[in-house]
Amino acid sequence: MVMKNVKNVNFWQIDHKVKSIFALKGIVVLSSTKAWQKFGWTRKFFEEKPKEGYFIWVKRQPDFPLATCITIASPKIYQNLSNLLVIEKGIRAKANVFCNAEKNNLCGKHLAKGKLILKEGVFLEYNHIHKWGEKDFVSPDYEFALEKNSRLIYNYQNLFPPENLEFKTTIHSGKNTSSNLNFVINSLNSKTKVKDTVFLEGKNSQTVVRLRLVGRKKSQIEAISQIFAAAPGKGHLDCQGLLVDKTAKISLIPQLVCQNKEAQITHEASIGKISEEELTYLKMRGLGEKEAIDLIVSGFLKI
């Protein structure tokens, strides 16, 4: 899906070309390369001088959700993005982030390193949606820094997987912060590696992490979920996998590391299959087997 209406899209890139930039008063939007040149302070957040990607600096309360779209539209494109989002103190914001391939057979490569800085008292809802072709390679690596009293809701959804997905998320949690992370991945003819790590570094920091992973035909999923508690705080991992096909494989590895006696961190993990009773019930109601399976999977993926 290519964005047709870019009126309120803050940053839109196809292949390596920036198609449009849209900024409102109090919101700075630049390519990462230009931000590196214009604002020296951004350089501490980039590992090296960016080749491409976006920089968004939210300095006042936005009236609309932030939005970005990164698309691969040509064969064998190799994107290497460095993205930076900085939200100033006390702001409430929502971001809708779309990354996709325009066609199913482009054999593209999409690498993205993102850093998101939530200053004191910020609330951010971050909706991250991926849609890829069957032969693409995708590797997003996002790091969130939550300053005092900030709150993050992060929703990641990938219902159209690439051939290879390597997905990494890291959360650094300051004092009195909270994060709610939801990962939904539907894997088909693909190899998926997921690693999410939350560091509870400030007093009274909290996190809840939920994974819903579906293994369809010829798919392999490995998911590592970690919580490290260095300060008094609370965390919970909820990892669930659903095997739909006998050629699929799912591996769930929850890990809890507690370094503070006042911290409380827990986890639950399960891998199951579609119930024959549930499948029979839906078929008796007139659904074909594929329709019934799709309905069950759709329900499982809702968090």
pLDDT values of the chain reduced to their tens digit, one per residue, 303 residues? 444 455 679 999 999 999 999 988 999 999 999 999 999 999 999 989 999 999 999 999 999 999 999 999 999 999 999 999 999 999 999 999 999 999 999 999 999 999 999 999 999 999 999 999 999 999 999 999 999 999 999 999 999 999 999 999 999 999 999 999 999 999 999 999 999 999 999 999 999 999 999 999 999 999 999 999 999 999 999 999 999 999 999 999 999 999 999 999 999 999 998 888 888 888 888 888 888 888 888 888 887
Query: In 10 A of CB 48, how many CB atoms?
Result: 9
Residue 290, SS3? helix
Give the pLDDT confidence score for residue 6 in this predicted structure: 55
Structure tokens belonging to residue 167: 């997905």
pLDDT at 289: 85
pLDDT at position 3 is 47
Residue spans of alpha helices (H) in 26-75: 32-38
* Strand order across the 233-243 sheet: 17-21, 11-14, 66-72, 92-101, 123-131, 151-160, 178-187, 205-215, 233-243, 264-273
Q: Are 140 and 126 in contact (CB under 8 A)?
A: no
Q: Rounded to the nearest 10 degrees, how much is the dihedral formed by the CA atoms of 97, 10, 106, 51?
A: -100
Q: What is the pLDDT, as a whole number, of residue 1?
A: 41
CA dihedral sign of residues 37, 129, 110, 72 = negative
- The domains of the chain are located at 11-300
* Neighbouring C-beta atoms of residue 60, cutoff 10 Å: 11
Q: What is the largest CA-CA distance in the chain?
A: 65
Quote the pLDDT of residue 2: 43
Burial of 104 (0-12, 13-18, 19+ CB in 10 A): exposed
Which residues, in sequence order, are CB contacts of 29 under 8 Å at separation 6+? 10, 11, 21, 22, 23, 54, 55, 56, 57
